[in-house]
Structure 1
Amino acid sequence: MFADAHNDTLTAAFFKNEGLYENLLQFDFKRAKQVDLKLQYMAIWQDTRRKDIDFMENIFTILDLLNKYDVNNVGISKIIDENKLNILVIVEDISFINDIFDVEILKEKGVKGATLSWNHKNKLCGGAYEDEALSSFGKEILKRLLEMNFIVDLAHASQRTFYDVVKIINSPFIVSHSNCYALCKHPRNLTDDQIKIVGSFNGLIGISFYSPFLSESSAKLEDIAKHIAHISQLIGHKHVCLGSDFDGADQFADGINGVEDLPKIKEVLSRFGFTDEEIFDILYNNLFSFTYEFLK
C-alpha cells in the first residue's frame, strides 16, 4: 500500500480541463488504485500574487468536481475508508483569505490542511525564496487553523517563518514535499536543525521526487532513498513519508514518471537495507497514522 503527502493534480486538472479518473497527467485515480495507493493529499494551488482570480470560487468549483468521484474526501467524512481511495485536500498558500471566517468556510467545504505560503512572501509570512517572518495576521490565521484542527503544512515556508511557527504551534505538523539540505543545497529543503524540530513535534516530512530537491545533478531513484535514510538516521523512520509533487513539477528522479512508478520506491528502499516493516511505515503507515490523529 502507498500514501502520498502531496500532489498538484487537482489544480492541474482544473486548469487543463482534465478529468481525475483517467487523464494524461502524472496522477489519476485509475492508476492510483492499480498500485494500491490508499491515501493521497491533493493540493489546490493558485498564484496569490495575481489580482484577476476569484480564489474562493475556484476552490469551491474544484471541490465540487472532486466530490463527483467515488473517492472518500476525509475532510468531509472524517474517516479513512479502507475500501476507497482517500483524498485529503490542502490549500497551498492560504494567503488569499481576508479573515479568520474564511478558514471556517474552507473547512465546511472539505478542506483539511493548508500551507501559509508558496515560494514568495505574502501578507501572512515569507516563502522559500523570500525569508520574511510570520506577520501578525499570519499569527492570527495560524491560530485559527489550529483551533479548527487543520493540518499545518510548512512546505514552502521561509526559515524565519518556520521558526516563528514552531514557537506557536501546539500540535504535530507536516512538511509535505521538502527534502534534506545536507544532501542537496536547495532553498526548499530542510536543514538538519529543522528536521530535528519536526521530529520533536512528532511531525512528518514528505520526500519529493523533484530532481532539483534530490540532487545537484540529475537525480536517480537511489537519491530518494538517500534522503529518506538521512531523515531516518536523524529522527527515526517514523517521521518520513512520500511527498511526490506529481503534477506540480516536470523533472523527477530517473525512472519516476507518474503514480504508476511508486512500486519502484519500495524496491530501492529494500536495496538500501530498510526492513519490510520500515518500508510499510514509510510508504503508507506513517502518513496514515499522522492523518488519523487529525480526524478525531
Structure 2
Amino acid sequence: MFADAHNDTLTTAFSKGENLYKNSCQFDFERANKVDLKLQYMAIWQDTRQEGIDFLKNAFYFLDRINEYKINNVALSKKIEDGMINVLLSIEDISFINETYEIEVLKQRGVKSATLSWNHENKLCGGAYSDKGLTSIGQEVLKKLLEENFIIDLAHASKKTFFDVVKHLNKPFIVSHSNCFSLCPHPRNLTDEQIKIVRDFNGIIGINFYSPFVKDKGKANLNDVLRHIAYIAELIGTQYISFGSDFDGADEFPEDLRDVEDLPNIKVELGKLGFSEKEIENICYLNLVRFTEKFLK
C-alpha cells in the first residue's frame, strides 16, 4: 500500500478540462487503485500574485468538484476507510483569505491542511525564495488554523517563516514535499536543523520527486531519490518519512518515477538497500496514515 502527502492533480486536471477517474495527468484514481494507493493529500493551488481574482470562490469550485467523486474525504468522515481511496484536501498558499472565519468555511467544505505561502512573499509570511518571516496577520491566521485543527504544512516556507511558525506550535506538522538541503542545496529543501525539528514535533517529511529538488546538477534518477530517504533515515529515523511526489505540480521527474504507477519501484529499491519490510511499509504508507489520524479525532 502507498500514501502520498502532496500532488497538484486536483487543480491541474480540472483546469485542463479532465476528470480525476482517468486522465492524461500523472495521477488519477484508476491508476492509484492499481498500485493500492490508499491515502492521497491533494492540493488546491492558485497563484495569489494575480490580481482581480476571487481565490476563495475558485477554491469552492474545486472543493465542490472533488466532492462529486466516490472517495473518502477524511476531513469530513473523520477516519481513513478500508477499500477506498482516502483524500485529504490542502490549500497551498492560504494567503488569499481576508477574514479568519473563512478558514472555518473551508473546513466545513472539507479542507484539512494548509500552507501559509507558496514560493513568494505574501501578507502572511515569506515563501521559499524569500527571507521574510511570519507577519502579525500571519500569526492570526496560524492561530485560527491551529484552533480549527488544521495540519500545518511548511513545505513552501522560508527558513525564517519555518522557525517563526514552530515557535507557535504544540502539535505535529508536515513538510509535505521537500528534500534534504545537504544533498541538494535548493531553497525548497530542509537543512539538517529543520529535519531534526520535524522529528522533535513528531512530524512528517514527504520526499519530493521533482528533479531539481532531488539533484543539484543534471536530471535525477530513482537512486537520487533514495539517497534523500536514506539520509533522513540515518539522521532522524524512518518513522518521519513519507512521499510527497509533487505529481502534476512540476515538469521534470526521474525516469522511474514519472507517475503514480511507478510508486512500486521505490518499494523494490528500498528493499535492495537493506530497509526492512516494516520500515518499507512505514515509509510507503503507515507513517503518513498514523500522522493523519492524529488530526481526525
Q: TM-score, normalised by structure 1?
A: 0.99
Partner of 2:170: 170
Partner of 2:23: 23
Letter in 1 for 2:264: P
The one-character-per-residue Cα deviations of 1:91-145 (angstroms, maximum 9, x if unpaired) are: 0000000111011000000000000000000000000001101000101100110
Cα distance between partner residues in 2 of 1:76 and 1:46: 23
Partner of 1:223: 224
Cα distance between partner residues in 2 of 1:17 and 1:111: 22
What residue ranges of structure 1 are gaps of 5+ in the alignment? none
Letter in 1 for 2:55: F
Deviation of 1:253 after TM superposition, in Å, equals: 1.6
Cα distance between partner residues in 2 of 1:242 and 1:213: 13
Runs of 4+ more than 4 Å apart: none
- Secondary structure at the counterpart of residue 14 of structure 1: helix
Calculate percent identity across the aligned residue pairs: 62
The one-character-per-residue Cα deviations of 1:140-169 (angstroms, maximum 9, x if unpaired) are: 100110110000000010000000001111
Matched, 1:9 2:3: no
Deviation of 1:51 after TM superposition, in Å, equals: 1.0
Partner of 2:214: 214
Q: TM-score, normalised by structure 2?
A: 0.99
Cα distance between partner residues in 1 of 2:244 and 2:100: 28
Deviation of 1:249 after TM superposition, in Å, equals: 0.7
Cα distance between partner residues in 2 of 1:151 and 1:53: 26
Deviation of 1:52 after TM superposition, in Å, equals: 2.8
Matched, 1:264 2:255: no
Deviation of 1:279 after TM superposition, in Å, equals: 0.3
Cα distance between partner residues in 2 of 1:192 and 1:29: 35
Cα distance between partner residues in 2 of 1:295 and 1:283: 20
Matched pairs, number: 296
Partner of 2:292: 291
Deviation of 1:13 after TM superposition, in Å, equals: 1.3
Deviation of 1:192 after TM superposition, in Å, equals: 0.3
Partner of 2:235: 234
Partner of 1:111: 111
Cα distance between partner residues in 1 of 2:84 and 2:102: 29
Partner of 2:282: 281
Deviation of 1:254 after TM superposition, in Å, equals: 2.2
**1:241-256 counterparts in 2 under 5 A?**
241-256=242-257
Cα distance between partner residues in 1 of 2:52 and 2:228: 39
Letter in 2 for 1:228: I
- Secondary structure at the counterpart of residue 81 of structure 2: coil
Cα distance between partner residues in 2 of 1:63 and 1:156: 22
Partner of 2:139: 139
Partner of 1:152: 152
What residue ranges of structure 2 are gaps of 5+ in the alignment? none
Cα distance between partner residues in 2 of 1:179 and 1:52: 34
